[in-house]
Structure formats: structure tokens, C-alpha cells
Structure 1
Amino acid sequence: MPLGLLLLWLFALGTRFWGLSRFPTLVFDEVYFARFGRNYLAGVPFFDAHPPLGKYLIALGIWLGGGFHPWGYRWMDALLGSLIPVAVAVLAYLLTGRSRVALLAGCFVALDGLFLVESRYALINVPLVLFGVVSQILWLWGLRYRGRGRSLWLIAAGMAFGACVAVKWSGLGFLLGVGLFWLLQRQLPLLAEGKTTYQTTYEWWQMCLLLPLVTFVVYTLLWWPHLQFHPHQSLLELHRQMFDFHRSVASTAHPYCSPWWSWPLLLRPMSYFFQKVQTLSEAVPVIGPPLPMEATRWVYAVYALFNPPLLWLSTLATLALFPLGLNSLAGRFVLLNYAANLLPWALVSRCVFIYHYLPAALYGFMALALVWEASHAWGVWARWARLAVLTGVMGGFAYWLPLYLGLPLTPQAFFTRMWLRSWI
């Protein structure tokens, strides 16, 4: 297991750092978040629609990376993003006690395209997911202890939950997931599997008082540096402005808006960067009017696109796990967290995007790993099915890799990878 985790991390690290400075321009929401990070260092006030922790981390990267340039504002996300597959593997191991399931779940995350893309730019979904997974690792780890030790681990989990919500409010989905799991465990307890030892769960005062209190306190304290640049605004006023902003965004405010139910089907990914050139020696971005497509010889494109075979298979696996999953501890945890990170979006009327599915998707990948493990009892034919799954996932990663790394493609090669009309 330790060697497997090391190799998994090195693979994730390499794919996220290779060519990290490609495109010496602000890509997608870097026009906001990278600049906000620089504003913290320069002491410039600004309005942001999200809590501040993600931009603190970008600012730290700029400061440690030697200035406001692509490497400086991107490397922190790349480092944090390389840790997500490892964290998911650890979470899966705590749930199942099986190294094979854990490493497979981590590999699925490492072979996904949208997790890779988000890790290569100065965006804030990567720290959101990392803090969310770490908080659940700490929460599960605390179940191995009794008495004061359990409360201390719960406090650590609450600190991580607070950090998660301090990146984006949608981080509350991770907290909701463990809350639903705790409630169901109290009403219909299940013993853990494999080498895990979760024979009891938290007391009501720990979950209903201690955990929310620690989460709230940490979340509030993390606003303190931001408030130093906005001395004339209260924390309550800032939250009112943020809420009003999100409420004012129309459901059709952006051409890449996509309804929540479409995310598991991968109907509407997003273009983060697109540039047409005539030669590979041209500087990118090109200054001047865009080329017509018929005069274009090469395109550079970065797409917020999950690994299609992996996502579709994980959606099927989640559906397949549902009838029996609630009768196993790992399946129960995965399904409840998948629902907690997806279904609340049905209540949101503003424009939402495919990257909002990232937290739910990682539980879909874990569901695929659980179904994979269960298939070993299905007979010889399942061996070929497992081989086909691995081939499809690795083949999909390799095939769409140019769209994840922004490598040059001919227009024909680009459109060949647009499998659905809605992807364009």
C-alpha cells in the first residue's frame, strides 16, 4: 500500500506539473482568482463571490513562486491537486480495509480529465475537494478511538470542514454527507468490513454541537485576513453581498451553463481555453482577430471534460450499487456522500457548471472501485469486463489528454474528440 500510494502520487504530480507554464495568459477564472491572490499581497480591496481561503493559497503560491507569472500562480493548485488521488485512496482504505479497492479508487481520480485540468490552473475547486476528503478521513479515523481521543479527532475533522467551506459554500456537501451517514448508522448500524474497526459511532453532542461549532469557528477565523483589507465592511455584510450576487445570476447567464442532472451524463463540458494558429511557432495567445476555421492548421484547447469512459462507467456503477450499497458500510458512505454533493444542486436556480460535479464525481469513482471488487465473485466473464473497464479508462485518458494539457491538435483531431454536439 505505501509503495502504491507513492507511485500514485508521483504519477499525479508529473501530469499536473508537466508544462505547467503553457499559455502565458490568464486562463478561464484565473482572470479573477489569480488576480485576487495578487490583490491580497498588494493590499488591494476587491469583491469576491466566494469565501477567501482558495485565494489565500494562490497568494501563498505567488509569494513563494517568485511573482505573478503562470508558474507562480499555478503551482500551488498543481501540488494540492496531486494529493487528491492519494487522499481518495486513503479514504477508500479506511472504508473497506482493502488495498486493491483503495488504489483503484485513487487511480480513477488520477486518470480523470477534469481533476487534472482544475489542478493545472489557479482555480479553487481543487482545495475545496482536498479539504473535503481530508475532513472525512479525519472523521472516520476518529471512530477508531474512544473517549477524549475521539473528540480530538472530531475537532481536527471540524477544522478541515471549516477550511473546506472557507473555499466555497458548496463544501457543506462533505459535511452533509457524514451527517447523513451518522444518522443512518445510529438507526440501522452496520459493522465495518475488512480490517476497519468502526464498531460504534459519535455521540449526538459530538455531531450536533462540537462538530458544527468547530467548523463555524474555523470558517469565521479564516475570514480575518480578508477583513483587514475591508475595514469598513462587516462579515455579515460581506455574506449578504455574496448571497445577493449568487441569487442574481440567471440560469442562462453563460453559454456553458448546464443543469445538475446532466453532469453524470457528461452532456455539457466547458472550454477553458481555445486558440487557433497557423504554425506551432506562433506565440500564444495570438494578438489580433481570430482566424477563420478553414484557415486554421492547429488549435490549442483546454476542456473541462471528465474522462468520458470513466465518468459514464462510474454513473452506471453508482446506479448498480444503489440497491445493495446501503447494506454495506462502504457502499452506504459512498452513496450518501454522492447524493449529498449532487442533489442539493437541484435547489439552485442560478447558472451552474460541470465543475460543480467534482465532489460527487469522486464518490462515483469510488462506487466503480467497489463494484469492480464485487465483480470478483461473478464468475470468469467478469474478468473480461474488468479488463474492458481498465482499457476504456486508460484509453480515454490518453485519447483526450491533449484537451487536458492544452497540446496542439489539428482541427480534424479536435472535432474527432467532440463526441457529442453539445460538447462544442
Structure 2
Amino acid sequence: MLNLIKKHAKHLFPAGLLLMALLTYGVNYGYPNSLFWDENYHIASAQKHIDGVMYMEPHPPLGKMLMALGETVFNSNDGLNKAAFNNTDYITGNDIPAGFSFYGFRFASVIMMAFAVLFMYGILHRIIGHRFIAAAFSTLVIFDNALVVHSRSAMLEGIQLFFILASLYYFTRVTTSGKPIRLGHYAWLGVLIGLTIAVKVNGAILLLLMVMLFGVDQWHNIKSWNLVALLKRLVQTVPSGTLPVVGVFLAVFYFHIGFGSEIVNNRTYKASPEYLELIRKGETFSLTAFRTGMKDHWRYMSEYADGVPRLDVCKPGENGSHVTGWPLSAKTISYRWGKDTYDGVVKTNYTYLIGNPIVWFSALAGIVLSLGLIISRFVYGNPEKDRSLFLWICGFTSLYVIYMLTMLQIERVMYLYHYLIPLIFAVINLSLVFSYIYRDEILQNNKHTLINAGAFAVLVFAVFAFFSPFTYSIPISADQFEMREWFKFWRLEVVR
């Protein structure tokens, strides 16, 4: 059996991870059979794509396009009256027709996040070079309660994280292949980053990968201060990388504007008279309509962002939270709840945004350790134990720190799920820090080290299961709820 496992290990680990991800994200993902949080917006927007209705939103349209594709493929709501979805940007339970199914709208997020786990495994395997360690730390993405809640919904994070992990995997593959970095590599990375930004603009953090790719590509010229060679390469790589980013982003908007050929309920979103006239003439796929519509969409997104209120922690029911509290999962958000009686006992089913504390706290510890390692190297001159791993740690720590510093500059209210992107960076970094500390033992396949990594993955799963009532809306009593209120700063709110 052991020989069989070793023989097929190349396929067993990713296949096992994919199966776990599909089960964790996908089982009964149509439940709860009701709207929560941004589904009220995104399902309405996705339906407008299906019906060819013009609309504007604060986020780019790719995520809603993919939700619409899932609903079109499933076609599970065929024959139901969904006209109310086109009359508003925010639907409520009263707008949902009887017999409505959420499976189609949520499908893109579920399936894409499940397959994104393969990218996670690929990233870790290429850097660390050990399948078991890569698989063990990949489970942190599968069994994080916050990631699962958003991946099982018609929201944007699961879709965007697929493109983020795809971008990171491609970057890792190119830089670890041992082959020369070509202009085509910059272009393909630009395509993936463009798709990421076309879901949510905070994906622009991945533009730093272009800088890192250039650093790897031209490290020999950087070390020798060959400014002429560096400038020549920049002239080639900057357009090779940035034009695909811009091209993909604009292409998504071109189709969004083109298919928005109908105005419903006089909802014009303050569009210019020129754009409205082109819609009425049926010329939405013209270059004139694209140019005019793009300006109107960009203006709408800008005005919407300016109108979002600031964080007010004194406001009753404030769901927003400060950036500094995110790594500790503060503050959690109660997305929805329902109360019922089971065998004479009153229980409540919750859909709660709360992270797996083992994943989040361990990821934070990894960032602290990596910062200490970086300081010890560049301030105190301590030598690296493994130069390649050290540089990867520097890279992912930089992505994490720059994202968090950027968020600190934003004045509008932000929410805990905005931390999911740096959480991915931190989880990858954690696996690298572990591999850096136990590098010799991993290379020797030390049983104690491998057992410890496996035990950590089991602990992650056990704590995920403990908090799973918040993830899968499993009914629990008030006492069972309070058993899960580990920290006051989570600000969990029990329903009595």
C-alpha cells in the first residue's frame, strides 16, 4: 500500500485536496435558501446580465457575469418570475419568487474556489518541493470558516481568489522553472491579474508580482547596477505586462456595456444623454458606446466610492471593522439567522463571518516570525539558512504588509472579508516559515516533523468543524453559541 501511495503521490495529493474542497464548499451550497449580505446586490446584477439590462455597480462586472453564466447553465429557475430583479439594485426576500433556487447563482464561486485549492498546492509544492507539506498547509484554505462562507455564496471573493491563486501559481511556476523569463510570461501574468482586477479592484495588489518578476528576470543586472540594460528591459516588459492587464479589464467592460441593451424602470444611473441614446438605438457594441459608457461607468464607480460612509464604531449595528483588528478576526459579521424549535428546545441557525482561529492566528504568527527573520538578516546581518526560501518569505511578507498598509489609507468603512486576500498571502508565508525552520528535517523526511505537520492540519479541521454551525447554518442553542465565543473582540451576538 505504501509503495502504491508513493507511486501515485503526484496525483493522490492534489486529487485528495480537490475532493475535500468540493465536499467542504459544495455540499448543499444552495442552503441557506435565502439571501444574505451582498447576495442582495450581486444576484440582482447577475440577472440583469441574463436579461440584457443596463446597470452600473461599484465593482467591475466579471464576477456577476460568471454568476449569470452559472445560473444560465443550471437554468433551475426557468419559468419563475424574476422581473423584480431588474427593477432594483438591491433585492429582498419579498422579491424572491416561490421555488427559487440559489444553486446556479452560487455555482461559479463554489467551483472556482474548489479548484483554486489546486493552485495553492501547486504554489507550495513548487517552492517547498515536498508534496506532504504542501498538502498539509493547503488544507488551511479548505478548512477556514470565513473562506468557506464566502465561497458558498453568490459573492465575489471565491471567484476573485481563484484568479489570485492562479496568478500566484503562474508567477511561481515561471520563476522556479529554471528557464529564461520571456515577454510572453509578463503578458500571461498580466492577463491573470487583469481578470483579478475585473472582479474587484483590490486585486491590483498583484501588480507587485510584475515588479517581482522583473527583479527575478534582471537580478544579474540589478546586482551589477547595469542601468542601461535594465532600462532597455523595462521598455520591453512594462508594455508587455501592463497592456494585457488594461486590455482584459477593458474587454470585460466592453462586453458588459455591449450586452446592457435595455433600460428598465427608467434606471439610468445618471448616465450621459449620449450613452442613453446609443442604448435606445441598439448600438451598445459600437466603439462610441464603449467609449461613452466606460466614462459613465467609471464616474459612477468613483462617485459611489466617495459616498460610502466612514467607519463609526460607536454606531449601533456597525458591521465594519478597523484594519488593525482583521488578523485576529475582529469584528465578525452576523449575515443572517433563523430561529426555530427542535424537540422542544429553541435553537438558532446562523450564517456568520468568522475565521478559523487556528488558521488566522497561525497565519499572523507566521507574519511576525517572518518580519523578525527579515529584520535579523537586513539589520543585524545574520546569514540565511536557505536563501531561496528566505527570498520567497520576503516576497509574500511584502505582499501582506503592502496590502495592509494600503487598506490603512482608505477612509471608507471596510469589512472583515477584505482581509481574505492578505490571509492567503499569510497562509502561504506560514508554510514557508515552517519549511524554513525545519528545512533539514523536511529534506530528510523526518517522521516527527511530518507527523507534526499532519497533526496541525488535523487540528485545523477539528476547529473548523467546531465552528461549522456558523458556516453551514446548523441550528445551535444559546449555550452552544457561547461555547464558541472565545474572545470578546470577535463581538459575537447570540440570539435569545
Correspondence for 1:236: 295
Query: How far did 1:156 drift?
Result: 1.6
| Equivalent residue number for residue 360 of structure 1 | 422
Structure 1 vs Structure 2 CA RMSD: 2.9
Question: Any residues of structure 2 matched to 1:89-238 within 5 Å, and which?
Answer: 89-143=121-175, 144=177, 150-180=182-212, 182-183=214-215, 203-228=233-258, 229=260, 231-232=275-276, 234-238=293-297
Are residues 1:55 and 2:64 paired? yes
TM norm structure 2: 0.74
1:8 aligned onto 2:40: no
Would the aligned equivalents of 2:140 and 2:457 in 1 still touch at CA under 8 Å? no
Structure 1 residues 423 and 251, CA gap change in structure 2 (3 angstroms): farther
- Tell me what 1:195 maps to: none
Aligned match for 2:322, one of 217, 235, 259:
259
Alignment match, 1:285: none
1:185 to partner: Cα distance: 7.8
SS at match of 1:252: coil
Q: Contact 2:62–2:199 (CA<8 Å) still a contact in 1?
A: yes
CA apart distance, 1:237:
2.1
SS at 1:257 equivalent? coil
Structure 1 match to 2:466: 399
| CA-CA distance at 1:335 after TM superposition | 1.0
Q: CA deviation at 1:298?
A: 0.9
Aligned residues: 399
Letter in 2 for 1:217: G
Shift of 1:151: 2.2
Q: 1:340 to 1:185 in 2, by over 3 A?
A: farther
Q: For residue 145 of structure 1, report the CA deviation from its aligned partner.
A: 6.9
How far apart, CA to CA, are the structure 1 residues paired with 2:168 and 2:470? 32
Distance 1:408 1:203, change over 3 A: farther
Partner of 2:433: 371
8 Å Cα contact 1:95/1:329 also seen in 2: no
Residue 269 of structure 2 corresponds to none
Partner of 1:268: 331
Aligned partner of 2:373 in structure 1 is 324
C-alpha distance in structure 1 between counterparts of 2:472 and 2:373, whole Å:
38
Following superposition, the deviation at residue 116 of structure 1 comes to 0.8
Distance 2:178 2:365 in 1: 36
Alpha-carbon distance between aligned partners in 1 of 2:352 and 2:178, rounded to the nearest angstrom: 44
Q: Runs ≥4 in structure 1, deviation > 4 angstroms? A: 180-190, 377-380, 382-388
- Deviation, structure 1 residue 141: 2.8
Structure-2 residue corresponding to 1:412: 479
The 2-side partners of 1:151 and 1:416 are apart by 55
DSSP-derived class of the 2:438 partner: helix
Deviations 1:239-296 (A, max 9, x none): 121012112211237711011111112121212221122248xxxxxxxxxxxxxx97
Deviates more, 1:331-340 or 1:387-396: 387-396
Give 1:303 deviation, angstroms.
Answer: 1.3
Maintained 8 Å contact 1:20/1:120: yes
Cα pair 2:198 2:252 within 8 Å, conserved: yes
1:423 aligns with 2:492: yes
Match of 1:194 in 2: none
3-state DSSP class of the match of 1:274?
strand
**Equivalent residue number for residue 89 of structure 2:** none
Deviation at 1:99, TM superposition (A): 2.2
Structure 1: gaps of 5 or more residues: 191-201, 281-294
Alignment partners' CA distance in 2, 1:250 and 1:311: 28
**CA contact under 8 A between 2:67 and 2:154: conserved in structure 1?**
yes
CA shift for structure 1 position 170: 0.3
Q: Indicate the SS of the match to 2:339.
A: strand
SS at match of 2:160: helix
Counterpart-to-counterpart distance in 2, 1:238 and 1:133: 28
Give the CA deviation at 1:181.
6.5
| 1:75 alignment partner AA | F
Rg: which structure is higher?
2
Q: How far apart, in 2, do the equivalents of 1:363 and 1:301 lie?
A: 28
Q: So what's the TM-score if we normalise by structure 1?
A: 0.86
CA–CA separation in structure 2 for the residues paired with 1:376 and 1:38: 51
Q: Secondary structure at the match of 2:335?
A: strand
In structure 2, the partner of 1:310 is: 359
State yes or no: 1:17 paired with 2:39: no
Q: Provide the secondary structure at the position in 1 that maps to 2:182.
A: helix
State the match for 1:46 in structure 2: 55
Displacement, 1:52? 0.3
Counterpart of 1:301 in 2: which secondary structure? strand
State the distance in 2 between where 1:243 and 1:296 align: 50
Is the 1:276–1:300 Cα contact (8 Å) retained in structure 2? yes
Q: Distance between the aligned counterparts of 1:188 and 1:297, measured in 2? A: 68
Q: Matched residues in 1 for 2:128 and 2:440: separation?
A: 19
Q: Of 321, 341, 348, which aligns to 1:278?
A: 341
Query: Which residue number corresponds to residue 381 of structure 2?
Result: none
2:109–2:158 CA contact under 8 A, matched in 1? yes
